[in-house]
Every structure is written in structure tokens, then in C-alpha cells.
Structure 1
Amino acid sequence: MRWRKMIGLLLLCVTLIAITACGSKEAGPAQSNGDTNTENSSEGDNAALRDVKVVLDWTPNTNHTGLYAAVDQGFYEAEGLNVEIVQPGAGGADTMVASNEVPFGVSYQESVTQARTQGVPLVSIAAVIQHNTSGFAAPTDRNIKSPKDFEGKTYGGWGSPVEEAVMQSIMEGEGADVSKVKNINMGDADFFTAVKRDIDFAWIFYAWTGIEAELRGEPIDMLYVKDYSEALDYYTPVLVTNETTIQNDPELVKAFMKATSEGYQYAIDHPEDAANILIKAVPDLDKDLVLASQKWLSPKYTDDAPRWGEQKQEVWQNYTDWMYSKKLLDEQIDVSKAYTNDFLPQ
């Protein structure tokens, strides 16, 4: 499954949200999984509860388990909320949240940063995972053991300037030349199809595609981008809302985040049970993959942070400075306005 397409196209769409919707998924590392249907998350008589939607960034996976656990375990209901988990429309999750179509969504630090340079008031309210679990992956027979080994190889991506900038950053540290990498667009092909067809490596999230490679018995070499640059250890994914919701309905944000935090803590404490909740909600998912992915990912939700969801200003500043240095931003942003920890439970 391809998580996100070209960031530039997304942001063009986002700037038009006040007038109309536009079409694009969000750009980023690839995952390998087929589309699934949107899952409603609540049943029965909820007349006394407030209906709330949260939109995913892509099809359901273990990045989202805490949301499904919060529904299944009644954490949202305890806060007076009837939460429905939905998939993004044509304009993408960021567009839906920024335009007040839905109050909450799943996004990425890079998307929020880009959006705010365009005056789009997205705000990150929690880091789903503390450290970046994405990186460049290749079948072991390609002998890609370091960024220098990218030279002379073919990279499959989605055509975003971010990809080459990241690749350039980690290659330069190894004295390598990014111009010696051939770049092609993978289109709709997943990682496993593409590496058998016409590419040597791609950018993936290990928690999904890397785990799937293990289950397939197709070993890969994984080069995590955070291991080569502190600036690239950014938050991906994050939960977002918009400034209007924060200003006009802070109690809603507080209630949503309390229950969501409980959902992710449940997934941390009970990975197998949480995996089964996700499988029950989205039966089209591969059960073995969900279970293995959840066991790998659950400890990484909080990792070395004092609580789930915590965000650090230095992480936001480091990545913003890096994006600006690579000319991926037209201007710097005030990172203190791009995220908040204020709605995380103490």
C-alpha cells in the first residue's frame, strides 16, 4: 500500500479548501496492503453521545490501533463521544480537518509543517509514535548496506522533492552522490511487486512493510533515516485538529485526547488483544501481519517519552530547519503553533 503521494500536490489542494475539495492522497513512505472499506466504530443507541469523526491518513493499519481500541473498549463513550473512524475523501485527511469537515485526523509532521507555510491552520495534538520508523529498504540480494550503496541503484518512489532531499542528506554524510541514483515512479505497485520488477529499493515503514517482508520470508536490508540525521527523526504519524476547533471547542479536544490516549495505552499494554480489535473492525486485513506488526510497534508508541503522544519542540524545530535548508519550505514557521501537548492527559 502506498501511504502518501506527492506532498506538493496535497498542499495545492489544501490551499483551496475554503472553496472546494481536490484530489490526492498524502505523500510518504510506502506500505504494502490492499484497500479496505471504511469502518463505522459505534453501535446501538448513542442518542446521548456527541457524534465525532476522525479521519485516517490511509487504509487502517497498526498506526491506528489505539483509535480502534478506544472505540472497542468504550473509552470514547465514557467521555460522551460516539466516534466514527473514516477514511479520507478525495482531498485527503489534512484537507478534511483543515476545512472543519471533520475535527480530527491522522497526518504527518512534514504535512503539518508544509501546510502551515500556506496559512493552513493544522495543529498536531499527539505523536502516534515517538521515533521515525521509516527508512529505505531493499532485498538483501541488492547489497545495499549503507547510503553509499544507493549509487548505481534504482529507487522507486512517488516523485516528491522530499524523497530526493532525504536521500541526498543521508548520502552526503557517507560521501556519496545522489545524482548517481536512478529514480522512477512506482505508480500503484507495492514494494514487493516493484522490487521484483524494476527497482532496487524504496522508502517504507518497517512496522508494516518490513514486518510483511519477514512473514513472506523475503529478507530486506533496512536503513532507518533517523540513524543518519537527527533532523530526520521527526513525528510520523501524528494526530491533528485545526486552530478553530481548539479555540471554539477545547473541551471536545480534551475529551477526544483523553480517550485516545487510553486507547493507545491499551494497545501498549495488550498488543495481542489490540491487534484482534483491529482485525475485528477491519476483517480484510491480514491477521498474521496485524498481530506481528502490533507486537513490534506497541512498545514504540511511547518509547522513551514520559507519556504517549508527547511532542518536543526540538523535534519540530530540527525538522523545520532541515526542510527550509533543503528549500522544501518557502519560509520558516513558528513551530510552537504547529503542535501542542496541552490536551494530553497528565
Structure 2
Amino acid sequence: MKRNRSVLMLLVLLLLGSPAGGEEKLSLMLDWFPNVDHVPLFVARQGGIFLKHGLSVEIQSPSDSADPLKLAAAGHVDIALSYQPQAIIAASGGIPLKAVGRLVGSPLSTLLFLDGKGISSPADLEGKTIGYTVPGMMDHLLDAFAAVNEIRSFTPVNVGFVILQSLAAGRVDAVMGPFKNYEPVAMEMEGYTASFFELEKFGIPSYDELVFVAGTMIWNRKGETIRRFLDAVEEALAFTKAHPEEALALYFEAVPEAPREMERKAFEKTRPWFGPDTRLDAVRWKTFAEFALQWGMIEKEVNVHEIVAER
């Protein structure tokens, strides 16, 4: 029934305004492997919304979480799904990019730890070993979190995405970077209970977790096409909010290998954090950029009005 519904929606969209062939092609690289953070993107593709806006969008997965932004800046992909802190750090380093929109407009990243390990406040992390997930971003966020919360001594360790194993084995006491909608669910299904510090509640300014980034040259050349892409994503965000079960069915249709029980639970936690639109707030970006400069996340000041694209 759900599959029939998705086919019916596609036919309706085609009848109501899809162009007759000649779609413009865009390549989109995700921040990581497909997961429920990306549901609206697969709604737009599977449900014909991209097609309705005259677009053919190829969705790619990276081999490393640092690749999407670099490949977008170099023009090897049209759009990358990245993170606001990562974009700020890259811009400070002179990488030519344009932040063009958002998918998830609130922080999902946390500093996560297992229950029963004697951690109830940031002060309890003094002298601990703390992992981080994405080099070049989460290690900087960890340093800033420690400075703001007066954690004077700790040992940072790059654990990548080997989060549960690193915590369960006692290799690290906590990890900077796991998403609050995803890893706690996965850990609970393995019999572990996780707690976390939400970064925006412990001194880190609120930011857009997942953002669309294009290289400056691509934006200058394909800006209008990318704007249509963002319009399509907004339509998909609205559909996901109004029809969550149908949206999740479209995602599972596109990613049949997804672990359904875990991703269904994670999707319920993710839904409030989407959108509600794709528009970026330059003032909020400026606040984060100033914080990043103040606490040593970046060395060079970032003019956010140069990197946040006008819509």
C-alpha cells in the first residue's frame, strides 16, 4: 500500500507540473552513508519532487566524512551536505565555498558517554580520555567545549565512527560528535544506555547541523539551478512533516539495506529537527564564527556574508 502511494504521488507530481524531459543534472554528496537524517532528500528523489522542479539529482556517499566539502569546493560535485562548524573552519582556511541552505537547522552533535561512569557534568571530564569523530571539526569543537567549561586536562583520541566499541572497551570515557537522534538509539539496541551533553546547552552557540555547500565556482555557474534544488528540498521537508510514514517508506524504498527497526526509532527522534525550511541565518552564522575565532577553533576571521549565499 505504501509503495502504491509513493507511485501515485509521483504520478500526481508529474501531471501537475513536471517538465517533459531535459532535466538539469546535479550531483549531491551526503555527509556520510544514507541514514534517516537524509529522509527529505530521498523523498524529493523517490517522490518525483526533484523531477517536478526540472532536476535530476545523483545522490552519492563519501568514503570519508571530510571528503564532501573538499570535493564540492574543488567542483568535483555540485553540492555537498556538510556541517556548519566544518564550513566555518574550511572558509577560515581559505577554501572557496558557498553555504547555500540547510537540511537540519539545530545541533544534533553531542558529547556522549555511557551511564554509570560517574559523569554528570562537564567538570567530571577533567583528566579523562575523550574521543572525537570527525578530524578537523570535532576535535576543534572538543577543544572549545573544554575551554568554555573549564576542563583543563584531558586526552583527545580520534575514534572515527567506532563509537560504541571505544566506549564499551573503556578506550575513551566520552566521545565528541555522536548525534543525539542516532547513536543513543543504536546503543540502546545493543543493551547500553547513553547520556550526553547537548553542546548548545553548555556554551557552544546554536548552529545548523547539516548544511548544503557548493564551491564558489559552481555557485556562480549553477546558482539558479541550486536554488531550484533548495525549493525542491523545502517541498520535501513539508511532505516529510505532514506525511512521516510515507516519507520513511520512500526512504526505505531507496535504501532497502537500511536497518529498519533502528532507523524507524531514530527517525522519530529526528523529525523535530528538520528544517523547517532551507534558509540560512547570516546573523547566527556570524555568532558562531565569532565564537570559533574567540576560542581558537579558527585562526582567521570569517566574513559570513561572503560565504552565506543570498537566496
Contact residue 105 and residue 210 of structure 2 kept, 8 A: no
For 2:234 and 2:107, how far apart are their aligned partners in 1?
19
For 1:157 and 1:170, how far apart are their aligned partners in 2?
12
Give 1:333's aligned residue.
302
Post-superposition CA distance 1:216-250 (Å, at most 9, x none):
3421111111101252x222210112322332233
* 1:129 lines up with 2:98 in the alignment: no
* 1:262 lines up with 2:199 in the alignment: no
For 2:136 and 2:224, how far apart are their aligned partners in 1?
39
Q: What runs of 5+ residues in structure 2 fail to find an aligned partner?
A: 1-19
Q: Which amino acid aligns with 2:244?
A: P
Change (3 A) 1:89 1:72: same
Contact residue 272 and residue 294 of structure 1 kept, 8 A: no
Contact residue 86 and residue 136 of structure 2 kept, 8 A: no
Give 1:212's aligned residue.
186
Give 2:198's aligned residue.
224
Change (3 A) 1:201 1:230: closer
1:99 pairs, out of 58, 70, 74, with 74
Give 1:22's aligned residue.
none
For 1:238 and 1:254, how far apart are their aligned partners in 2?
14
* 1:118 lines up with 2:87 in the alignment: no
Give 1:30's aligned residue.
none
For 1:137 and 1:328, how far apart are their aligned partners in 2?
20
Change (3 A) 1:249 1:165: closer
Give 2:17's aligned residue.
none
Give 1:141's aligned residue.
116
Change (3 A) 1:52 1:173: closer
Instruction: Measure how far apart 1:294 and its partner are.
Output: 1.3
Q: Give the 3-state SS of the residue equivalent to 1:207 in structure 2.
A: coil
Instruction: Measure how far apart 1:108 and its partner are.
Output: 1.2
Q: Which amino acid aligns with 1:195?
A: L
Q: Which amino acid aligns with 1:113?
A: I
Instruction: Measure how far apart 1:139 and its partner are.
Output: 1.0
Contact residue 58 and residue 88 of structure 1 kept, 8 A: yes
Contact residue 126 and residue 239 of structure 1 kept, 8 A: yes
Instruction: Measure how far apart 1:73 and its partner are.
Output: 0.9
Percent identity for Structure 1 against Structure 2: 20
Change (3 A) 1:145 1:330: same
Give 2:248's aligned residue.
275
Post-superposition CA distance 1:295-326 (Å, at most 9, x none):
11112113xxxx41232223211211122123
2:38 pairs, out of 55, 64, 67, with 64
Post-superposition CA distance 1:29-70 (Å, at most 9, x none):
xxxxxxxxxxxxxxxxx9532222111111111221111110
Q: Which amino acid aligns with 1:191?
A: I
Number of equivalences? 290
Instruction: Measure how far apart 1:105 and its partner are.
Output: 1.4
Change (3 A) 1:107 1:136: same
Q: Which amino acid aligns with 2:155?
A: K
* Aligned Cα root-mean-square deviation (Å): 2.4
Change (3 A) 1:185 1:245: closer
Change (3 A) 1:162 1:147: farther
Change (3 A) 1:215 1:191: same
For 1:309 and 1:93, how far apart are their aligned partners in 2?
19
For 1:114 and 1:301, how far apart are their aligned partners in 2?
23
Q: Which amino acid aligns with 2:300?
A: E
Runs of 4+ in 1 over 3 A off after TM superposition: 158-174, 214-217
Contact residue 122 and residue 151 of structure 2 kept, 8 A: no
For 1:87 and 1:172, how far apart are their aligned partners in 2?
34
Q: Which amino acid aligns with 2:50?
A: Y
Q: What runs of 5+ residues in structure 1 fail to find an aligned partner?
A: 1-45
1:184 pairs, out of 152, 157, 163, with 157
